[in-house]
Amino acid sequence: MTLTEKLFARASGKSNVNPGDNVWVKVDVLMTHDVCGPGTIGVFKREFGNNAKVWDRERVVIIPDHYIFTADSKSNRNVDILRDFVREQGIKYFYDVIDDPNGSWHFDPSKGQLKRQFGSNFAGVCHTALPAKGHTRPGEILLGTDSHTCMAGAFNQFATGIGNTDAGFVLGTGKLLLKVPETMRFHLVGELPKGVMAKDVILHVIGDIGFDGATYRAMQFDGPGAHALNMDDRMTIANMAIEAGGKNAIFEFDETTRAYVDERTKRNGTRAQYEPVEPDRDQKFIYDKTFDLSKLEPTVAKDPDPGQRALARECADIQLDRAYIGSCTGGKTSDFLAFARVVNGKRVKIDTFGVPATPDVVIELQTTLWEGKSVWSILESAGVLMTENASCAACLGGPADTFGRLNRPMNCITATNRNFPGRMGHKESKVFLASPYTVAASALTGHITDPREYLG
Ligand code: SF4
């Protein structure tokens, strides 16, 4: 069996499963957020009754992160609905925007978008917060009401996005009927060359198979090239499996995984026991291809979908109005450090927005010093509009007052993960996906730019 098949077999209590089998899977963690949480709660109450209790209050993780720093009252109210549910159910893991469990959330636009407006327990973007807060464990089943839940496949677990109806069912029962996907194997060899990041790897892969090339399939990344990647890089790759239609992404377990998970579960006091799945000798793949990372170049996905692959150096004629770094995919500390490496001591030429994925990223950027200056101040000195309000922000467009939203037709290069029309706001805007290096170099020139010339 492949890694994903082994996870399905274990979670369904069977000794063997095959692609296409429909099996009842026991869920280890269910995550929801402010956009889908209220709908999920509504389904749960409708189907199980107003007084029903969730199947396990320690396995439900609720992370408001999407439409948070907006004056839109309906968006603010969604956070309040989550808080009421958490209080009613005694749910243990709720990363609220405010500290008062009986309060209500109102974003105050008069304080501006840049300065922190959240309490001590807020965790930022769900997919980045889940591992950081110790909720991703090898060998487990993690379901979330968000398509990029597949990011947790970096941790050798089955993780996928589900709809509100399925999530409502999981809330009541702790299980779900799922079809075992076929597995595509992406065997990575070689080392990433200068100027090439994990984002380039996944943009290259999606360009190879198309934005529907992995529809309802598991994308298994293995080989020495995969083991050489750190967890942030693996997360970036796993995050975008859905951009090829993938059901999930999965990486093998190794010491890098163990060190990350053990540290985060210990720090947060979350469940520390887990059992990884190891690869079998007789894995059968529907697709099997080797990718030599040393041959890759800085890559871009052009408008209008993540499969429109081009090399950054071939796109120099594309003029830009905006650059954006942020999201679960591209808003990690390592992403900002890469970005800062390029813009350090220079000045961006176009509007450039920086949105850290989590409050911890804000702290790390503000406390990491390069020659006596914080990385945060280096980014600000380069002209990047940095907000402390970690969230999804303009990755998903959002209400009109969302930080960085494309409110008119424009060309934007971004470290986020999805570029279908209207994704970041105005439906006539064009969004180009790229690595933090490439976004940074392009911000400096105002057109799509190969970052290697800035990396010495
Ligand atoms: S940052 Fe973007 S991709 Fe990630 S969860 Fe938020 S909206 Fe989705």
Atom nearest to 66 CA in ligand 1: 6
Q: Is 291 helix (H, G, I), strand (E, B) or coil?
A: strand
Distance 395 CA to ligand 1 centre (A): 6
Contacts of 372 (CB under 8 A, 6+ apart): none
Residues with CB under 6 A from ligand 1: 66, 125-127, 146, 148, 327-328, 392, 395-396, 416-417
The pTM of the full predicted model, rounded to 2 decimals, is 0.98
Rounded to whole angstroms, what are the CA distances from 343 to 208, 348, 378? Answer: 31, 7, 8
Q: What are phi and psi of 182, to 5 degrees?
A: -70, 160
CA 336 – CA 326 distance, rounded (Å): 8
Query: Residue 452 is which amino acid?
Result: R
Q: What is the pLDDT of residue 150?
A: 98
Residue of the nearest CA to atom 2 in ligand 1?
395
**Coil, strand or helix at 351:** strand
Q: Which domains does the chain have, with CATH numbers?
A: 1-296 (3.30.499.10), 301-454 (3.30.499.10)
pLDDT at 157: 98
What pLDDT was estimated at residue 456?
78
SS3 state at 50: coil
Q: What is the pLDDT of residue 310?
A: 98
pLDDT at 168: 98
Q: Which of 396, 403, 431 to mutate to test ligand 1, by most ligand atoms within 8 A of the CB atom?
A: 396
Q: What pLDDT score was predicted for residue 71?
A: 98
Kindly write down the DSSP assignment for every residue of 75-140, as one continuous string.
HHHHHHHHHHHHHHHT-SEE--SSS-TT------GGG-SSS----TT---SHHHHHHHTT---TT-
Residue whose CA is closest, atom 6 of ligand 1? 392
pLDDT, tens digit, 9 for 90 and up, residues 317-371: 999 999 999 999 999 999 999 999 999 999 999 999 999 999 999 999 999 999 9
Question: If you search the block for the tokens 């029309």, which residue do you land on?
Answer: 421
Per residue in 400-415, pLDDT (tens digit) is 999 999 999 999 999 9
d(CA 6, CA 155): 15
How many contiguous H segments (helices) and E segments (strands) does the chain have? 14, 20
What's the chain's average pLDDT?
Answer: 98
Q: What is the mean pLDDT of residues 256-268?
A: 98
Mean pLDDT within 239-261: 98
* Mutation test residue for ligand 1: of 395, 418, 420, the one with most atoms within 8 Å of CB: 395
- Residue 343 CA to ligand 1 center (angstroms) comes to 25
Encode pLDDT of 128-153 as tens digits: 999 999 999 999 999 999 999 999 99
Task: Quick: pLDDT tens for 274-333.
Answer: 999 999 999 999 999 999 999 999 999 999 999 999 999 999 999 999 999 999 999 999
Residues 6+ apart with CB under 8 A from 80: 104, 105
Q: With H, G, I as helix, E, B as strand and everything else as coil, classify residue 141.
A: strand
Mean pLDDT of 97-102: 98
- The rounded percent of the chain whose pLDDT value lies above 90 is 100
